[in-house]
Structure 1
Amino acid sequence: MILEVAILYIKPNLNSEFEKAFKDAFKDASKIIKKMKGYISHELQKCLEEDNKYILLVKWGKLEDHTIGFRESAEYQEWKSLLHDFYNPFPVVEHYTSIDLV
C-alpha cells in the first residue's frame, strides 16, 4: 500500500470557498477517484497552525496506480478542473510506504 500525501496551500481568503467546493466537488471527484485501479481511500485534513493549509491523504495499492493510472488519465483532468484553481503554489505531492516495525 502507498500513501499519497498532498500538501495544499489555498489562496488567501478562499478557505470557505475551497471547503465548500471540495465538499460539493468531491461528491463528483470521489466518484472519479474511486473508480481508479488501485484506489483504496482518501481524506482531507485542515492544519490547525496555518489557516490556509490542508493535507490530502490518498491510499493506493501501488505507486503506479497514482503516478501513471490516475495522473495520466482523462479522469485526472476532470479532477484537476474541479479544485486546482484554489491552490497557490501547486501542491507538493509525495508518496510513502509503511515500515514493518515488528
Structure 2
Amino acid sequence: MSMKDLENSDLTDIKSTPFGYTLSIIGGKWKMIIMFWLVEYEVLRYGELKRCIGQISDKILNNQLKELEKDGIIIRKEYPQIPPRVEYRLSKRGLSLMPILEEVCKWGEVNKI
C-alpha cells in the first residue's frame, strides 16, 4: 500500500486493508504456531500436532484448524477407516506465507533480548 493509498483510505477500518486481511488470516496466538509445525513436518495428524504445540485445548485447536482450512491455508485429509485418521498439511496458499514467517523468525533472532 502506497502513501497515497493510505491517505485515501479509511484507516479506522483496518480490516479493509491488505494488512488487516493478512492479520485476519494469520493473527492470533495459535495460527502461526500451527503453520510453523506443519512446515517443519509437512504432514501431521491431529494428535501429533497437539503434542508439538503443547498447551492448547482441543476446542481451540479445532477452531483454529477449521479457520485455517476455511481460509485455504491448510488442507485437511480424512481417511475412511476406524479409528478415523485425519492429516493436516499446508496448502499452496499456506506455503506462500512461509517467506513472511521466515522473516518474522529472522527478526526474532536479531532482536531477541
Same fold (TM over 0.5): no
Q: Say which structure is richer in strand.
A: 1
Q: Which structure ranks higher in relative contact order (CA pairs < 8 Å, sequence separation ≥ 6)?
A: 1
What is the TM-score of this pair, normalised by structure 1? 0.27
Q: In terms of Rg, which structure is larger?
A: 2
